[in-house]
Structure 1
């Protein structure tokens, strides 16, 4: 799996854990909702700045959003 896809899956997982919609997350991150959707589907390659913005909005560490599932479970 590509890192962009892993990041997108983690963003979606954490967003849902926080009970946020894509629209609410988009507002918190300061990006268009379509961009957030593309991120979650692994269609965009976010910059490190964008990774950091998502982590701050989701109240988590950037590394958590970049880790593959098997790395998180260990």
Structure 2
């Protein structure tokens, strides 16, 4: 077996850092998505629009929310 070279070690570290930052970015996007969904659900309920506590939010509700929050 050959000992790892500086270049191969640097490459492995770089790939791992990329994976970590992608995972962190994905986690942030999921959190923002959950926050936005929660805001839409609160808004819809105050507007008297029927909406489930969980699951997909109908596009029509999302569109109404977007129109009300330019």
TM-score normalised over the length of structure 1? 0.37
Q: Comparing both chains, which one has the higher relative contact order based on Cα–Cα distances under 8 Å and sequence gaps of 6 or more?
A: 1
TM-score normalised over the length of structure 2? 0.39
Larger Rg: 2
